[in-house]
Amino acid sequence: MKTINSISGMRKKALKWRQEGLSIALVPTMGFFHEGHLSLMRTAKSKADLVVVSLFVNPAQFGPNEDLSRYPRDFERDSKLAERQGVGCLFCPDAGDIYPPGFQTWIRVEGLSHGLCGASRPEHFRGVATIVAKLLIIVQPDMAIFGQKDFQQLRVIRRMVRDLNMPVNIIAHPIVREPDGLAMSSRNIYLDAKERESALSLFQALRLAEKMVAKGCRSGPEVIQAIRNHIQSFDNTKIDYIFLGDPESLEECREIVGEALLALAVWVGKTRLIDNTLLTQ
């Protein structure tokens, strides 16, 4: 596996691969790999000749009081894990090269970025869209793999790629969970033993909603209230949002008809966790 730190070096290597007729899959990450990341890499490996994993803790998607400085990092561990998955290249650019002095060009995906996580993190998706666009321009992949845990992010990126006519296939990968149901996240490491138990309230709330809908409940407010009551019954939990709405437009709905997205963001102690499921009536 080759590690590349410079933008020019990544461009040259990607161009060489494309001239050789090789397909490229990109897996964008912020590092501190867990099984969810590794499953994205394996999926990418199954679909392309070469896999590029970007490892970049993107400062532009963190707010002023968020966890940029303490976001977990372990390059040596990540490098070994990526190599074991058959990754061809680990792209680790420097923040000063990605956002050089005087940088002032940002990508905003209107509408889709405003609700859910965008409501409490107003600049988050501007940072996400901009870094993903830059990675796609630099690496020039045939496809890029993203996890469905960040459902809103997936929708924002797909809309950006569509609106800007980017020649890349965005592939969604199902949420990867711990044996007890907790969605895998690099931030799970922040949780102490008691908070780890409280974190299960998200997964349990999603399953509760699925059971209610399976039994014929179509009322959005009724489902949301049941979820709210369940999560708040756990210690150290604070709900950021409970969203129920259209999985394409991300517009809220009061009645569950057909397929609806149920998405949660909950603070467990000082750690913000997200999860989601699709409810089918």
Q: What is the DSSP code string of 28-90?
A: EE-S---HHHHHHHHHHHHH-SEEEEEE---GGGS-TTSSTTTS---HHHHHHHHHHTT-SEE
Selection from 238, 228, 230, 233 nearest residue 271 by Cα: 238
One of 37, 124, 173, 230 is an active-site residue; which one? 37
Residues 6+ apart with CB under 8 A from 86: 41, 42, 45, 51
Return phi, psi of residue 261, to 5°: -90, 130
The closest alpha carbon to 13, from 107, 169, 3, belongs to 3
Does 34 qualify as catalytic in the annotation?
Answer: no
Question: Which residues have a catalytic role annotated?
Answer: 37
